[in-house]
Chains A and B, each alone.
Chain A
Amino acid sequence: MKAAVIVFPGSNCDRDMAVGLWASGADVTMVWHKEAALPTGVDLVAIPGGFSFGDYLRCGAIAAQSPVCKAVVAHVERGGYALGVCNGFQVLTETQLLPGALMRNAGLRFLCKTVTLKVATARSAFTQGYAAGAEISIPIAHHDGNYFVDAETLAALRAEDRIAFAYMDNQNGSVGDIAGVLSANRRVLGMMPHPERAVDTGHGGTDGKRLFAGMIRQFAAA
């Protein structure tokens, strides 16, 4: 699998993301935000966590207008895969590749801890390595992870089985306890928790590993 990790000024989980992908067997290229095109043959675009452009205006809003994001949108429109983690999730909502928006945490505090997630669906390349309903431990580290969609969109997400991960103990106020959400074609995943921070025993847990392994399997089979 060929993966591209997008790097914005202020990205700070780009190398962790690259290591997570590389450790699972992906061929990883880092792509600077000013690039107008992705490397040829990219299967998966990964948008990492951080504080792109200092979170100015709204988290992810400036990054979503960058040249590389136009290429990411085109990649997704061609049926390509994309994973956005934390700030990457915010960027994916700002580009409207995923529905909803991420607002300030309901408790107003920056949350930095390992949380328990429920794998809400195994029906996606990203989550196929987990059993539906499985509980996994993944770190969160965010100030603006309070996911919001209107009631109608929430009902549609539920009906279409597009909620990938849900918080067992929702501390940021996200509607429907949503921690991660899939696009309609199930090829774009945005999530606030950091699977790339749970891929090595040195991290304190390896529950994120199966997400990357699932992606690798998807392209090995193709």
Chain B
Amino acid sequence: MKARVQVMLKSGVLDPQGEAVKRVLGTLGFDGVRGVRQGKVIELDLDGDDRAKAEKDVTAMCEKLLANRVIESYNIEIA
């Protein structure tokens, strides 16, 4: 089964890359962009078809490696 992990900077942590993208969107004439946050997506291809186990394992992966909990939050989708 597949898991998709979305890692984002926590709200309240300044995202300078998102700010830069927002600025450039403005110069390209895209008005009305109130905020941009940039994150990353990590796709995992997992053995087995136990959804609960996958969720538990991927959560552990996020806590241990995939996200830095000091500055980042994560969201897991299992498909």
A positions within 8 Å CB-CB of B = 57-58, 61, 65, 93-94, 99-101, 103-108, 146, 148-150, 173
Contacts and interface: CB of A to CB of B under 8 A. Distances in A.
Contacts of A58: 68
A93 B69 CA distance: 11
B65 A61 contact: yes
Contacts of B65: 57, 61, 65
B51 to A, nearest CB: 25
Interface string B56-79: 000000000110101100000000
Interface in B14-66: 14, 16-17, 20, 65-66
A103 B66 contact: no
Contact of B13 (A65, A103, A107): A103
Contacts of A150: 70
Contacts, number: 34
23 contacts: A57-B65, A57-B66, A58-B68, A61-B65, A61-B68, A65-B65, A93-B70, A99-B70, A100-B70, A101-B68, A101-B70, A103-B13, A103-B16, A104-B17, A107-B16, A108-B16, A108-B17, A108-B20, A148-B13, A148-B71, A149-B70, A150-B70, A173-B16
B35 to A, nearest CB: 17
Interface residues of B, number: 11
The list of the 7 closest CB pairs from A to B, nearest first, reads A101-B70, A101-B71, A106-B16, A101-B68, A108-B16, A148-B71, A104-B16
A57 B64 CA distance: 12
B71 A103 contact: yes
Contacts of B66: 57
Interface of B: 9, 13-14, 16-17, 20, 65-66, 68, 70-71
A107 B9 CA distance: 17
A141 B9 CA distance: 24
B14 A173 contact: yes
Contact of B68 (A65, A94, A107, A146): A94
Contacts of B68: 58, 61, 94, 101
Contacts of B71: 101, 103, 148
B17, B66, B70: residue with the most chain A Cβ atoms closer than 10 Å: B70
Contacts of A104: 16-17
Nearest to B12: A150
Contacts of B9: 103
A174 B25 CA distance: 26
A97 B31 CA distance: 44
A57 B40 CA distance: 9
Contacts of B70: 93, 99-101, 148-150
B14 A106 contact: yes
Contacts of A149: 70
